[in-house]
């Protein structure tokens, strides 16, 4: 028993702490860059994906209203390791956008924490449902969404971002 507790008592408490914080200057560029780098290296998507993410960031931030929208950056050991955005798209519908987790932080629960923050915010703001778009090849993200209670409601296959992809729409009842 002592050996199981000892690391908890001797470890730096900040070393395992994942902190979710609001956006700061420079974060939007990081979100775009991470999407471009990760999706190109892991899934073979071309530059048009990074451009699409940049366009989404601009669209979201131009109409950002803290009463209806939110964004978080996850930090771990002083580094940015993830992001998620919530955007009100209809009176009672929120959309989860741009969830990303740095490969070095996978397995730490960053994606789950970000998703939970987005869901909690949406419920607190009175949204009745949440939707998101993803691709079928993103198995880790899809697992997070399924565990959070989202269900797949539509899928369409085609060529996007220089690859054959299956776009998916997922939905969560927040009531």
* Chain segment 126-151, per-residue pLDDT in tens: 999 999 999 999 999 999 999 999 99
pTM of the predicted protein model: 0.89
- Across the strands, what pairs with 32? none
- What lies within 8 Å, CB to CB, of 97 at 6+ separation is 56, 60, 84, 85, 86, 87, 132
HSE toward the beta carbon, residue 83, CA cutoff 13 A = 21
What is the SS3 assignment for 106?
coil
The terminus-to-terminus CA distance of the chain in angstroms comes to 42
If you average pLDDT over residues 48-73, what whole number do you get?
97
pLDDT band of residue 16 (cuts 50, 70, 90) is low
| Whether the Cβ atoms of residue 74 and residue 20 lie closer than 8 Å to each other | yes
CB atoms within 10 A of CB 31: 25
Residue-range domains of the chain with CATH = 18-173 (3.40.630.30)
Mean of the per-residue pLDDT values of the chain: 92
Res. 86: pLDDT tops 50: yes
- Give burial (CB, 10 Å; 0-12/13-18/19+) of 73: buried
């Amino acid at each position: 028993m002592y050996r199981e507790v000892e690391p908890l008592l001797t470890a730096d408490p900040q070393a395992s702490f994942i902190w979710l914080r609001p956006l700061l200057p420079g974060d939007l560029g990081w979100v775009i860059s991470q999407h471009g780098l990760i999706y190109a290296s892991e899934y073979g998507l071309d530059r048009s994906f990074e451009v699409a993410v940049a366009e989404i960031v601009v669209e979201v931030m131009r109409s950002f209203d803290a009463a209806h929208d939110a964004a978080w950056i996850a930090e771990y050991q002083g580094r940015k390791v993830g992001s998620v955005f919530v955007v009100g798209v209809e009176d009672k519908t929120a959309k989860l956008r741009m969830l990303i987790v740095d490969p070095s932080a996978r397995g730490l629960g960053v994606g789950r924490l970000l998703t939970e923050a987005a869901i909690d915010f949406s419920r607190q703001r009175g949204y009745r449902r949440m939707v998101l778009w993803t691709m079928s090849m993103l198995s880790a993200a899809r697992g997070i969404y399924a565990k959070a209670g989202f269900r797949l409601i539509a899928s369409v296959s085609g060529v996007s971002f220089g690859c054959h992809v299956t776009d998916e729409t997922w939905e969560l009842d927040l009531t």
